[in-house]
Amino acid sequence: MIAYFDCFSGISGDMTLGALVDLGVPIEWLKDQLSRIPLENFDVTVTAVHRNGVHAKLVRVEAFDDKISRNFSQIRSLIENSPLTDRVKSNGLQIFRKLAEAEAHIHSCSVEAVHFHEVGGVDAIVDIVGTALGLEYLAIKKIIGSPIPLGKGFVTCSHGKLPVPAPATLGILKGVPVYGTDIPHELVTPTGAAIISAPAQGFGAMPDMVIKKIGYGAGQRDLADRPNLLRIVLGDELQSVTDTTQGLQTDQIEIIETSIDDMNPELFGYLMNQLFEDGALDVCWIPIYMKKNRPGTMLQVLCKNDRRDILIHRILSETTTLGVRFYESRRRLLWRDQQEVETSYGRIAVKRVKDPKGNIRIIPEYEVCQKIAREQDLPLRIVYDTVAREAALRLKNEE
């Protein structure tokens, strides 16, 4: 299941909880799970409200006599020693670590020693661990976020009056696409920034998906120019669509490009490996001529929408380029699947590819064949051809 966090009015912990409850997370189950941490002297209430005519859930966390200022080490111990699942613990700690790292940088102290004031109390723990519980309850495996709007003005906290966005919020949102607004309020809290930035696998437009549910979480105040809501769209990720008339598959990808004429070419191989590890579908180095007839290289990367921002960050960090261009593209693909077949070299993974006329072609996995060739001191082409021939025969006999 994939979730798209549409943060058109920002994001906070209570807005996230409200949207998750609206998607179907039972509030009594949530409170029962949170009490196992253990957290005491708190209550969570849910109210049905409307923002600009849109039905939403407003969550309020009330903590009784909670004046504790906890540091990251104490919060980590609290979560790790709880009976919650490993996934909930991991997601909750990941979010708190985002907060701790931002605060440590601002206050020039170690991560472990960071004292959370506003976000160390029961209410923030409920927001963060409650979010982790909600993600698990709804079986959300992947999160994509929209670009994040930021307000302006000032906010009062334990350190006094600070500008909006708060320093911690800006620190957490490093690497995340944001944009400014004229709204004189804090649209993104530090907790909200950590909740979206820690687990999100990308930011941008809504990914290709089949929508199943939509949940709305309300903010505490009304905004003049927009509904103060967080919208979470839940669904199944759309991998590809088969064109039954041509026997082809169609999907949508992003193409990222940049032109480079002042970079040591010895670094290109390392960058290509890093891009593939970051989720690139393909990486090409294309010789070109640039201004003043200087020879250069165009880097072209193909990827899914949710990996675009991660790959752009990698390119801007690892190359000498000053910018990249990117655009959406659709592609047609031959039908393919992956099989494991028994060969004279053992059990080998191969791809089956079908052309528009229905002819099947077997493509052995290159890395596997290369490993066999080295281990057995054989020519790679012999290994490759043998695997392809034996796999084709075995798969045909199994039909």
Taking residues 178-193, report their average pLDDT.
94
Q: Check residue 66 and give its pLDDT.
A: 56
149-183 tens-digit pLDDT: 999 988 776 667 889 888 989 999 988 999 999 99
Which helix (H) or strand (E) segment is 13 a member of? Answer: helix 13-22
Q: Check residue 240 and give its pLDDT.
A: 53
Q: Check residue 243 and give its pLDDT.
A: 52
Same domain, yes or no: 323 and 370 = no
Taking residues 333-357, report their average pLDDT.
85
CA distances from 253 to 2, 207, 269, 312 (A): 17, 10, 23, 14
Same domain, yes or no: 32 and 105 = yes
DSSP structural state of residue 89 = H
CATH at residue 313 = 3.30.70.1380
User: What type of residue sits at position 282?
Assistant: D
Same domain, yes or no: 33 and 160 = yes
Instruction: Answer positive or negative: Cα dihedral of 289, 292, 294, 300.
Output: negative
Main-chain phi, psi angles of 166, to 5 degrees: -65, 150
Reply yes or no on whether the pLDDT at 288 is more than 90: yes
Same domain, yes or no: 262 and 214 = no
In the chain, DSSP finds a helix count (H) and a strand count (E) of 11, 19
Could you tell me the pLDDT band of residue 120, with boundaries at 50, 70 and 90?
very low
Tell whether 242 is covered by a domain: no
- The C-alpha atoms of residue 73 and residue 91 are separated, in whole angstroms, by 16
Closest CA to 190 of 245, 253, 123: 123
Beta pairing class for 160-163 and 70-71:
unpaired
* Burial class of residue 5 in the structure, from the number of CB atoms within 10 Å of its CB (0-12 exposed, 13-18 middle, 19+ buried): buried
Same domain, yes or no: 301 and 373 = no
Q: Check residue 68 and give its pLDDT.
A: 65
Taking residues 103-118, report their average pLDDT.
73
Counted domains in the chain: 3
- The C-alpha atoms of residue 202 and residue 179 are separated, in whole angstroms, by 16
Share of the chain above pLDDT 90, in %: 58
Reply yes or no on whether the pLDDT at 366 is more than 90: no
Last residue of one domain, picked from the residues 301, 332, 363: 332
Taking residues 355-364, report their average pLDDT.
85
Q: Check residue 275 and give its pLDDT.
A: 96
Q: Check residue 65 and give its pLDDT.
A: 57
Tell whether 339 is covered by a domain: no
Q: Check residue 103 and give its pLDDT.
A: 82
Same domain, yes or no: 97 and 32 = yes
Reply yes or no on whether the pLDDT at 348 is more than 90: no
- The C-alpha atoms of residue 342 and residue 394 are separated, in whole angstroms, by 8
Contacts of 3 (CB under 8 A, 6+ apart): 135, 138, 140, 142, 143, 144, 232, 233, 234
Tell whether 338 is covered by a domain: no
Could you tell me the pLDDT band of residue 239, with boundaries at 50, 70 and 90?
low
When comparing pLDDT for 306 and 18, which is higher? 18
Taking residues 207-215, report their average pLDDT.
91
Same domain, yes or no: 233 and 255 = no
Is residue 10 a contact partner of residue 227, using CB atoms and an 8 Å limit? no
- Residue whose structure tokens are 């004189």: 184
- The C-alpha atoms of residue 379 and residue 373 are separated, in whole angstroms, by 6
Same domain, yes or no: 349 and 321 = no
User: What type of residue sits at position 221?
Assistant: R
CB count within 10 Å of CB 59 equals: 27
Q: Check residue 317 and give its pLDDT.
A: 94
- The C-alpha atoms of residue 306 and residue 239 are separated, in whole angstroms, by 12
Tell whether 31 is covered by a domain: yes
- The C-alpha atoms of residue 57 and residue 216 are separated, in whole angstroms, by 6
Is residue 149 a contact partner of residue 41, using CB atoms and an 8 Å limit? no
Reply yes or no on whether the pLDDT at 118 is more than 60: no
When comparing pLDDT for 198 and 359, which is higher? 198
DSSP structural state of residue 281 = S
Same domain, yes or no: 259 and 203 = no
Tell whether 337 is covered by a domain: no
Same domain, yes or no: 215 and 275 = no
When comparing pLDDT for 140 and 157, which is higher? 140
- The C-alpha atoms of residue 86 and residue 332 are separated, in whole angstroms, by 40
- Residue whose structure tokens are 């659709």: 330
- The C-alpha atoms of residue 89 and residue 37 are separated, in whole angstroms, by 10
Tell whether 148 is covered by a domain: yes
Could you tell me the pLDDT band of residue 205, with boundaries at 50, 70 and 90?
confident
**Tokens linked to 353:** 């590819």
Residue 73 CB-half CA count within 13 A: 5
Mean pLDDT over all residues of the chain? 88
Tell whether 22 is covered by a domain: yes
Tell whether 243 is covered by a domain: no
Reply yes or no on whether the pLDDT at 186 is more than 90: yes
Same domain, yes or no: 99 and 9 = yes
Same domain, yes or no: 280 and 355 = no
62-102 tens-digit pLDDT: 877 555 667 888 888 989 999 999 999 999 999 999 988 88
- Structural domain including 362 reads 344-398
pTM score, whole prediction: 0.64
Could you tell me the pLDDT band of residue 41, with boundaries at 50, 70 and 90?
confident
End-to-end alpha carbon distance in the chain: 33
